[in-house]
């Protein structure tokens, strides 16, 4: 009889990072569904005590339409937080963007939920009355601004926890005194901070880099380490003999390109040594082919 050993923290972390998008979606759906169910029950009880002529399905349509539309708008808030995180260095710009984002969030939320309610009422042979559009929108805007702020804080905290667990890469700074041990403008190593620990990753071990908002994810032996940089800024710091830009959001290590598959329209798809596929745009394909040929000749 064999017994399986319990999952290690590292394996659990890898499992979470692999399915973090699905995990986050399930978490938020549970939150919004629970909120919709609770509000529906309490409102129905209040209506029953007041003996108001409002059907249960009407209350359910109000609460569930609002919650589910908010759930569908969550990716937009998460995207804006990645583009303009709440960092002290540019808090003014971030807050201005999120204030504007909350207004757009509320407008889309109101229009979508009213459309859903009209549809539900039509199925029941009735008609939904939203009331005066201006006054109701201002009322919903105040409520939505509060909801947006709460969601933003939770999403931002989640992003920071993921970064801490995943490990965040950074460039090595020049020393305060004496010469640098390696060229700062073209580093051979990156510093990674993960769960309170620090270690170095060789630049040559980077298999590819993918832009993601304000970060560039460095893929190293199956793990992604976010680096706060633009893809263009990183390109200037990497060795051009080893790394090539293949897309406006991607850089690959030539040593890890296993196959170049031409596509219609002059583009291509790259198969990496780990089996992953990376798009190569028409703009960068000629230079990539030239580099790949020179590598083969050199070998």
pLDDT, tens digit (0-9, with 9 covering 90-100), for 140-172: 999 999 999 999 888 888 877 777 777 778 776
Same domain, 50 and 190: no
Looking at the domain assignment, is residue 151 inside a domain?
A: yes
Same domain, 242 and 100: no
Looking at the domain assignment, is residue 1 inside a domain?
A: no
**Tokens 């798009």, residue?**
279
Q: How many domains does the chain have?
A: 2
> By mean pLDDT, which of 51-60, 192-201, 216-225 is the weakest?
192-201
Q: How confident is the model at residue 234 (pLDDT cuts 50, 70, 90)?
A: confident
**With DSSP H G I counted as helix, E B as strand and the rest as coil, what are the percentages for the chain, rounded to 5?**
55, 20, 25
Q: Would you state the pLDDT for residue 265?
A: 80
Mean pLDDT of 108-117: 95
Question: Nearest to residue 67, comparing CAs of 40, 43, 93?
Answer: 40
Same domain, 125 and 194: no
Question: Given 106, 138, 166, which residue is the final one in a domain?
Answer: 166
Give the C-alpha separation, 94 to 220, whole Å.
Answer: 31
More confident residue, 38 or 167: 38
Tally of CB atoms within 10 A around 53:
6
Looking at the domain assignment, is residue 109 inside a domain?
A: yes
> By mean pLDDT, which of 87-101, 126-140, 221-235 is the weakest?
87-101
What is the 3-class SS of 242-297, one letter each residue?
CEEEEECCEEEEHHHEEEEEECHHHCEEEEECCCCEEEECCCCHHHHHHHHHHHHH
Same domain, 152 and 179: no
Looking at the domain assignment, is residue 2 inside a domain?
A: no
251 exposed, middle or buried (CB, 10 Å; 0-12, 13-18, 19+)? buried
Helix, strand or coil, per DSSP, at residue 18: helix
Same domain, 228 and 162: no
Range of the structural domain that residue 244 is part of: 169-298
Tally of CB atoms within 10 A around 178:
7
Looking at the domain assignment, is residue 243 inside a domain?
A: yes
Same domain, 104 and 176: no
Same domain, 162 and 176: no
DSSP letter (8 states) at residue 241: T
**Tokens 């304000």, residue?**
214
> Bridge partners of 183?
none
């Amino acid at each position: 009889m064999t017994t399986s050993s319990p999952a290690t923290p590292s394996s659990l972390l890898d499992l979470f990072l692999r399915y973090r998008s699905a995990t986050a979606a399930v978490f938020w759906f549970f939150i919004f569904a629970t909120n919709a169910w609770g509000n529906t029950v309490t409102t129905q009880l209040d209506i029953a005590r007041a003996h108001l002529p409002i059907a249960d399905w009407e209350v359910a349509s109000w609460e569930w339409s609002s919650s589910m539309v908010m759930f569908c708008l969550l990716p937009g808030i998460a995207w804006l937080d990645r583009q303009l995180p709440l960092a002290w260095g540019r808090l003014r710009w971030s807050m201005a963007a999120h204030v504007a984002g909350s207004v757009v969030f509320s407008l889309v939320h109101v229009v979508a939920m009213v459309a859903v309610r009209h549809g539900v009422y039509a199925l029941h042979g009735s008609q939904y009355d939203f009331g005066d559009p201006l006054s109701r929108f201002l009322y919903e805007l105040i409520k939505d601004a509060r909801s947006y702020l709460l969601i933003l804080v939770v999403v931002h905290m989640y992003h920071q926890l993921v970064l801490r667990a995943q490990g965040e890469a950074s460039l090595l700074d020049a020393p305060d005194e004496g010469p640098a041990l390696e060229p700062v403008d073209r580093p051979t190593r990156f510093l990674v901070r993960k769960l309170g620990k620090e270690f170095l990753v060789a630049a040559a071990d980077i298999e590819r880099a993918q832009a993601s908002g304000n970060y560039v994810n460095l893929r190293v032996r199956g793990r992604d380490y976010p680096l706060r940089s633009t893809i263009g800024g990183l390109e200037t710091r990497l060795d051009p003999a080893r790394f090539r830009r293949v897309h406006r959001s991607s850089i690959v290590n030539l040593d890890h390109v296993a196959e170049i598959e031409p596509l219609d329209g002059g583009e291509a798809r790259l198969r990496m040594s780990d089996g992953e596929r990376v798009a190569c745009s028409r703009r960068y394909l000629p230079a990539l082919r030239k580099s790949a040929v020179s590598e083969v000749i050199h070998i």
